[in-house]
Structure formats: structure tokens, C-alpha cells
């Protein structure tokens, strides 16, 4: 018997916002499918590469052809909803607010909005914002009175493999061993070739530390990183990898992007330098830094490389600091947000 609603997802993606919106929607879709739901995605051209690379067998993908602008995407989504007839529409898109969400409604159809900005109104029945330090009061005037709001990292939509690797990773970190492996993972879209910049800055600091570098297939840094890896055996390049949970669990420190991958690193307690790559990431990264969950740097700063090297040295040299970051970040997020959100969906 089906225990979860037929669900249509509309998620943002692209060079500026990355693939995190699609990835967290895929995480929720996986939980809902396991509970008996049929799920489909509005497959925009921007979202298609992430969906096709990280989808799973049995998932329904419904492709959009032609429309590249937001209004075209919404028109297609509305027509697709009429055909697919979902009971729930999940919207994770910075360009979509209350007016567009109202257009996607129909009798018997609910709307779940995923947000992490708290700056626009939503016409939704359930809102999810995993932002660190976020309080429900931030949405008091932005969602309908009847809508429920799930806020904070407890509801971060993290893939289950990270929770599965959590205990092994935390047990190893508790031994306070020296840094032997490091990870650089600055997003599938590699905004501004930031991965190449970070790796080039860190190479003289590595010593005999192994450096795993994760990028997307279309990353601007890919060609340069392939050359570096060919000439330096310490560098291990991973393109569109399915092994991020293992890479994070096995790493002793990381340089990672702000956004949804923050909570993947937190789930396995990975001591991290969090790099702000977009304006919407800045507040959360700074709050996490102030609370001792990670170390925050801004890629837009003119001396970013110098700051990165200095922060890396501090992190690599201080096992007590690494353990504080591991403990605080893993306490904030346990990786079980997907089931919690699915439970709330069931209550709608």
C-alpha cells in the first residue's frame, strides 16, 4: 500500500547556484520512494546533468524541452503537474515564490517549499529551511498561518550514506591522529575555477598529505587539475564521484563549499574550512564560524589564497581545534533530516 504521496519536484540548478538544490530534492525523493511514493522531476536543462548523473533506477524523469527562462519553466511545470497529477509539489528554487506556487496548486494538492534565505513569501503547506541558527519566527510573515515550518540543520536533506558513515568517521576522529588525508570539494559547478585556485595554493603546504579533489565533469578547473594530478602523486582526482560519503569520512580535514554540502561534512564530523562561493552562503558560514562549527573564508576576498594557506596551517597543526570542529558540527547535524521531513509530509 502506498504510504507516501505522488510527488513532483521543481529544483533550481546552474553555474551560479550549483547542484545542491537538485541533490537535496533527490535525497527527499529517495526517502519518499522507499515509503511507496512515485516521484518525478521537472527536468530543466540546468538540472538535467545532475538528475541524470545522480538519479537512481526506478526514478521517473520527465524532461522539459525548450524553455530556458523561468516563466517557460513554470508553464511547463504546471502542464506537467496536470498530467502527472501529484498530491505534493516540492519547490526548491530561488526564483519561485508565493505567486508561482499558487499557480502550481490544485484541489487536493499540497506544496512543500525548501528555502534557506527567508526573504520571500511562499504559498505552501510545509516549509523546510535547514539553515544554521534559523528560527521559525523568520517565516512568520512569509508563509500562510496554517503552514508548518521545519527549520535548522536537524532537517537538512543529507543522503543516507553520510549517516551510515557517521559512526566510523567520528570514532576515528576521536583518536586525534595527525592529518594524513585532506579533501577539496568546492561544488560540482566549480564557480570561477575556484577548485584550481584552492589546490594550487595548498600544494606547497601538503607535505606528504594525500589530497582528494572532487569536481563535476564540466568543472572549469578539470583540465588544469588533470595535469596537476598527473605530475603529483599526492593528488587524487574524483570526477562526478558516487563516493563522497567515503571521501569525507576518510578525510582528516577539508576545504568545502558553503551550501547543502556543509551538512554532509557535518554529519561525518569533518573539520572544515567552509568557502563562501555565493552571497546567500555568507551569513550561514559566518554564523557557523562564530559558533565553532567550521572555519569560514570568502572566495571573493582579494587575498583569498593567503587566508586559505594561513587557515589550513592552523587547522592541520592543531588536533584540539580539529576535534572541537568535529564535535560541534556533528552535534548540529546527524544526517537524518530526510526521514524527518518525510514524516512531516505524511502528516499533511
Summarize the confidence of residues 57-62 as an average pLDDT. Answer: 65
Complete domains list, the chain, with CATH: 7-158+335-347 (3.40.50.11190), 160-332 (3.40.50.2000)
Q: Is the pLDDT of residue 326 over 50?
A: yes
Summarize the confidence of residues 77-97 as an average pLDDT. Answer: 94
> Percent helix, strand, coil in the chain (nearest 5)?
45, 20, 35
Q: Where are the alpha helices (DSSP H) in the chain?
A: 20-34, 48-54, 70-84, 98-104, 160-173, 194-202, 222-231, 244-250, 261-267, 282-290, 304-317, 319-332, 337-347
pTM for this model (two decimals): 0.94
Give the pLDDT of residue 67.
Answer: 61
Q: How confident is the model at residue 338 (pLDDT cuts 50, 70, 90)?
A: very high
Q: Is 67 or 309 the better-scoring residue by pLDDT?
A: 309
pLDDT in tens, 162-206: 999 999 999 999 999 999 999 999 998 898 999 999 999 999 999
Measured over the CA atoms of residue 47, residue 52, residue 56 and residue 59, the dihedral's sign is positive
Q: Is the pLDDT of residue 230 over 60?
A: yes
Question: Closest Cα to residue 152, out of 169, 121, 129, 175?
Answer: 129
Q: Is the pLDDT of residue 54 over 80?
A: yes
Measured over the CA atoms of residue 306, residue 310, residue 311 and residue 312, the dihedral's sign is positive
What is the average pLDDT value for the chain, to the nearest integer? Answer: 93
Give the pLDDT of residue 1.
Answer: 40
Q: How far apart are CA 243 and CA 251, in angstroms?
A: 12
Give the pLDDT of residue 293.
Answer: 97
Summarize the confidence of residues 116-136 as an average pLDDT. Answer: 95
Amino acid at each position: 500500500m502506498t504510504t507516501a504521496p505522488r510527488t513532483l519536484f521543481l529544483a533550481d540548478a546552474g553555474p551560479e547556484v550549483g547542484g545542491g538544490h537538485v541533490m537535496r530534492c533527490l535525497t527527499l525523493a529517495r526517502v519518499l520512494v522507499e515509503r511507496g511514493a512515485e516521484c518525478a522531476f521537472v527536468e530543466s536543462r540546468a538540472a538535467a546533468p545532475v538528475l541524470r548523473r545522480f538519479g537512481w533506477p526506478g526514478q521517473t524523469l520527465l524532461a522539459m524541452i525548450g524553455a530556458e527562462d523561468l516563466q517557460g519553466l513554470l508553464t511547463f511545470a504546471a502542464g506537467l503537474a496536470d498530467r502527472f497529477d501529484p498530491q505534493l509539489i516540492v519547490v526548491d528554487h530561488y526564483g519561485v515564490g508565493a505567486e508561482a506556487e499558487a499557480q502550481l496548486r490544485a484541489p487536493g494538492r499540497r506544496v512543500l517549499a525548501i528555502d534557506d534565505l527567508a526573504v520571500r513569501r511562499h504559498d505552501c503547506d510545509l516549509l523546510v529551511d535547514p539553515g544554521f541558527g534559523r528560527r521559525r519566527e523568520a517565516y512568520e510573515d512569509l508563509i500562510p498561518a496554517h503552514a508548518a515550518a521545519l527549520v535548522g540543520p536537524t532537517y537538512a536533506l543529507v543522503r543516507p550514506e553520510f549517516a551510515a558513515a557517521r559512526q566510523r568517521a567520528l570514532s576515528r576522529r576521536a583518536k586525534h591522529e595527525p592529518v594524513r588525508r585532506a579533501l577539496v570539494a568546492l561544488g560540482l559547478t566549480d564557480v570561477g575555477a575556484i577548485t584550481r585556485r584552492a589546490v594550487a595554493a595548498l600544494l606547497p603546504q601538503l607535505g606528504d598529505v594525500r589530497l582528494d579533489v572532487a569536481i563535476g565533469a564540466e568543472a572549469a578547473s578539470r583540465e588544469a587539475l588533470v595535469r596537476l594530478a598527473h605530475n603529483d602523486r599526492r593528488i587524487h582526482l574524483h570526477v562526478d564521484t558516487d563516493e563522497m560519503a567515503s571521501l569525507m569520512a576518510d578525510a582528516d580535514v577539508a576545504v568545502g563549499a558553503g551550501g547543502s554540502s556543509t551538512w554532509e561534512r557535518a554529519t561525518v564530523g569533518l573539520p572544515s574550512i567552509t568557502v563562501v562561493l555565493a552571497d546567500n552562503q555568507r551569513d550561514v558560514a559566518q554564523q557557523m564560524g562564530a559558533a565553532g562549527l567550521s572555519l569560514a573564508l570568502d572566495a571573493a576576498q582579494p587575498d583569498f589564497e593567503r587566508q586559505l594557506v594561513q587557515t589550513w596551517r592552523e587547522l592541520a597543526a592543531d588536533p584540539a581545534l580539529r576535534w572541537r570542529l568535529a564535535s560541534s558540527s556533528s552535534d548540529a547535524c546527524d544526517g537524518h533530516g530526510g526521514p524527518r521531513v518525510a514524516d512531516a509530509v505524511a502528516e499533511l
